[in-house]
Amino acid sequence: DGHGGGGHGHGDHFDFGEVMVHQMIHTIEFVLGAVSNTASYLRLWALSLAHSQLSAVFYDRVLMYTITLNNPVAMMIGFFVFFCATMGVLMVMESLSAFLHALRLHWVEYMNKFYRGDGYAFTPFNFEVKEGEH
C-alpha cells in the first residue's frame, strides 16, 4: 500500500524519490571524501619524494663533490654545508610533513567520520559541581 514503515518503526509515508535523493547525496559525499583523502595522502607522498630528492642532491652535489677535490679544508667546508643544508632544509620539511599528517588525520579523517553539525553547543567535560547538583 506504500504507507507505514513496513514494520521498521517508521510511521510516515515512504517516498522512494526522497530516499533515492538522500542516498545519492550520501554517495556523492562518500566519493568526495575518498578523493579528498587520496589527495591528502598524495600531498604527503609528494613531500616525502621531495625530501628524498633533496637529500640525494645535497649528498651528491655538496658532500661527494668536495670529497673528490682531495682537499681537507674543502671537505670540512663541504661537510659543514651538507650538515647545515640537511638539518635546515630537510628537518624543516620533515617537521612540516609531520604537522601536515597530524592535521590531515584530525581535520580530514576524524571530522569526516564522526563530526555531525547538528547544532548542539559543545560542553566540555569538567568536574565542577553545578548549583543544585549534589
The proportion of the chain whose per-residue pLDDT surpasses 70, expressed as a percent, equals 87
Q: How confident is the model at residue 9 (pLDDT cuts 50, 70, 90)?
A: low
Burial 90-125 (b: 16+ CB within 10 A, else e): beebeeebeeeeeebeeebeeeeeeeeeeeeeeeee
DSSP state of 130: P
Section 13-37 average pLDDT: 89
Of 46-50, 58-62, 67-71, the poorest mean pLDDT is in 46-50
pLDDT at residue 56 tops 60 = yes
| CA proximity to 55, closest of 21, 91, 22, 28 | 91
